[in-house]
């Protein structure tokens, strides 16, 4: 019995030592592979270290953002508050995040591009104080964290944020207490957009919608408060582009056009789609773009018939068409341009026939672009031109088959989002949108095989003016002869 007890004690001692060793080993590995998890003294900074925020100015005066907030406040009901949130930081994998992109509403109302912010607009200035005075707007910001600044860079402190954005600021640490006081007094709370709409339950493939959870919470704790949306009001504001916004869109579009010029000059058979993408996007950044507005679409051959193809991993072949749908982003505003070109520099007869038909449809839509034109008429006209043209070429047998080869709309709004918000059903001065007819004939389509694997889209960006239209991307060649000439340069 004593011998058995001694053996058990020895086993337990070895297990204990092994557990301690494994724990120590794990901690050491964590410190080596992830310095942020190391002991605090390993990442301590001298007491006077200061990181500064240096960003390229977009040139928009703070008075423009203040005027937008004031206009929105006018449309809110009495005794109400509106809440706008920074976008979430999105995780790419494990502890690595995607590059941050601010909520478009927050950009529109403040110009602020950092996470962890909440903008609160308060009608009649109830329950909000700044420096002892009642205010009708507050921007809650995170306090500076030296440890976070070391790893991810600094953010503006309260005073810097107030100076930069022209709005009273408060610490995010006090937001919970502020909300309790505010909601006790307001009658309406406006939330136009949630940073995250729903959370996916991976085990049961079900969704939990945050808005529903918030509504249930309000019903239980603040039954006197109506939860409403300002989406309609802010959409109506954002869809009319002011002069400052048009300047930023011009910047984004001009950088995109240069990307297309450089790509078409260098394209040749045998290049991989991702190599064409690299030429395009590097030109964006070398010209001063700060991001891409959306993942670049580079579809060659059969991939040109996939509307939102973004894998970009096929090698081009002699005789292929390449469809490139790309846009540079500048100060949050994005371009959205598409050109389709023969990778060998010369359109085949069938490719040119369909390409010219797409241009005919685009020209027919340009002719309609003026104030007061119903938005739906753009699509109706485009579909009619494409349908009749496909019948004429013998690609289709009946007009209704046009939907097989033209399966999308012809226009969408453009601005802070590549598919920007919309409100009105007819064109107004200040609208910026795309005109993008297309024809896509995938392999196996019920037509002559000579049309198979031809995918064509031509997309330009336009601005409705007081008396007509300005084609913002007009400097980029569109017609087949012009495309071939550019590729020979």
- Mapped to the 3 state alphabet, what secondary structure does 178-208 carry? HHHHHHCCCCEEEECCCCCCEEEECCCCEEE
pLDDT on residue 130: 56
Dihedral through CA 59, CA 65, CA 67, CA 71, nearest 10?
140
- Spatial neighbors of 279 by CB under 8 A, at least 6 apart, are 259, 262, 263, 266
H/E stretch holding 432 reads strand 432-435
pLDDT on residue 44: 60
Average pLDDT for 20-49 = 45
pLDDT on residue 12: 39
Q: Is the pLDDT of residue 126 over 70?
A: no
**66-75, 179-188, 275-284, 408-417: the lowest-pLDDT one:** 179-188
Q: Is the pLDDT of residue 203 over 60?
A: yes
Which amino acids are annotated catalytic?
Answer: 95, 308, 325, 336, 408, 412, 419, 436, 440, 457, 459
User: Residue 227: what are its φ and ψ, rounded to 5°?
Assistant: -95, 115
DSSP letter for each residue of 130-187: ETTEE-SEEEEEPPP-HHHHHHH-----HHHHHHHHTS-EEEGGGHHHHHHHHHTT-S
Average pLDDT for 442-462 = 98
CATH number of 62-236: 3.40.350.10
pLDDT on residue 465: 98
Q: Is the pLDDT of residue 5 over 50?
A: no
> What is the per-residue pLDDT across 255-310, written as a single tens digit (0 to 9) for each?
999 999 999 999 999 999 999 999 999 999 999 999 999 999 999 999 999 999 99
In this structure, the number of other CB atoms found within 10 A of the CB of residue 131 comes to: 6
Mean pLDDT of all residues belonging to the chain: 89
Q: Is the pLDDT of residue 233 over 80?
A: yes
CATH topology of domain 240-488: Creatine Amidinohydrolase (3.90.230)
pLDDT on residue 70: 96
| Percent of the chain surpassing pLDDT 90 | 74
pLDDT on residue 22: 40
pLDDT on residue 131: 57
For the chain, which residues make up each domain, given as ranges? 62-236, 240-488
Q: Is the pLDDT of residue 383 over 60?
A: yes
pLDDT band (50, 70, 90) for residue 132: low
Q: Whole-angstrom Cα distance, residue 321 to residue 476? A: 18
SS3 12: helix
Q: Whole-angstrom Cα distance, residue 422 to residue 413? A: 7
Q: Whole-angstrom Cα distance, residue 57 to residue 40? A: 36
pLDDT on residue 37: 43
pLDDT on residue 45: 65
The answer to whether the beta carbons of residues 304 and 296 sit under 8 Å apart is: no
């Amino acid at each position: 019995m004593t011998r058995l007890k001694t053996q058990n004690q020895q086993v337990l001692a070895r297990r204990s030592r092994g557990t301690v060793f494994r724990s120590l080993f794990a901690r050491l590995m964590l410190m080596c592979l992830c310095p942020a998890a190391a002991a605090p003294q390993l990442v301590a900074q001298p007491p006077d270290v200061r990181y500064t925020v240096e960003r390229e100015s977009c040139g928009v005066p703070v008075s423009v953002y203040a005027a937008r907030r004031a206009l929105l406040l006018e449309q809110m009901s009495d005794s109400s508050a509106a809440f706008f949130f920074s976008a979430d930081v999105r995780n790419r994998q494990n502890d690595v995040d995607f590059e941050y992109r601010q909520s478009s509403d927050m950009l529109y109302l403040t110009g602020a591009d950092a996470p962890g912010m909440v903008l609160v607009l308060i009608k009649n200035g109830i329950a909000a104080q700044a420096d002892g005075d009642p205010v009708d707007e507050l921007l809650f910001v995170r306090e500076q964290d030296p440890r976070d600044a070391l790893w991810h860079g600094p953010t503006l402190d309260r005073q810097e944020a107030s100076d930069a954005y022209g709005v009273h600021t408060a610490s995010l640490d006090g937001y919970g207490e502020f909300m309790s006081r505010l909601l006790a007094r307001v009658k309406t709370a406006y939330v136009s957009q949630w940073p995250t709409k729903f959370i996916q339950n991976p085990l049961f493939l079900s969704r939990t919608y945050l808005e529903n959870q918030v509504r249930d919470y309000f019903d239980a704790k603040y039954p006197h408060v109506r939860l409403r949306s300002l989406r309609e009001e802010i959409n109506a504001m954002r869809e009319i582009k002011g002069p400052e916004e048009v300047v930023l869109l011009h910047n984004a579009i001009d950088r995109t056009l240069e990307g297309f010029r450089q790509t078409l000059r260098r394209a040749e058979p045998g290049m991989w789609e991702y190599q064409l993408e690299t030429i395009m996007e590097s030109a964006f950044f070398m010209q001063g773009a700060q991001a891409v507005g959306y993942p670049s679409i580079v579809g060659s051959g059969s991939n040109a018939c996939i509307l939102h193809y973004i894998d970009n991993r096929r090698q081009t072949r002699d005789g292929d068409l390449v469809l490139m749908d790309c846009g540079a982003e500048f100060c949050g505003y994005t371009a959205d341009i598409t050109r389709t070109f023969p990778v060998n520099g010369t359109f085949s007869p069938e490719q040119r026939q369909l390409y010219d038909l797409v241009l005919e449809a685009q020209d027919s839509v340009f002719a309609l672009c003026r104030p007061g034109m119903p938005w739906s008429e753009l699509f109706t006209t485009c579909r009619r031109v494409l349908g009749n043209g496909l019948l004429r070429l013998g690609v289709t047998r009946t007009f209704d088959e046009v939907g097989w080869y033209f399966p999308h709309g012809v226009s969408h709004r453009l601005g802070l989002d590549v598919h920007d918000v919309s409100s009105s059903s007819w064109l107004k001065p200040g609208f910026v949108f795309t005109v993008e007819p297309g024809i896509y004939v995938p392999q196996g389509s019920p037509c002559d095989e000579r049309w198979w694997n031809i995918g064509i889209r031509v997309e330009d960006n336009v601005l409705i003016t007081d008396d007509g239209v300005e084609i913002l991307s007009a400097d980029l060649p569109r017609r087949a002869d012009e495309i071939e000439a550019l590729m020979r340069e």
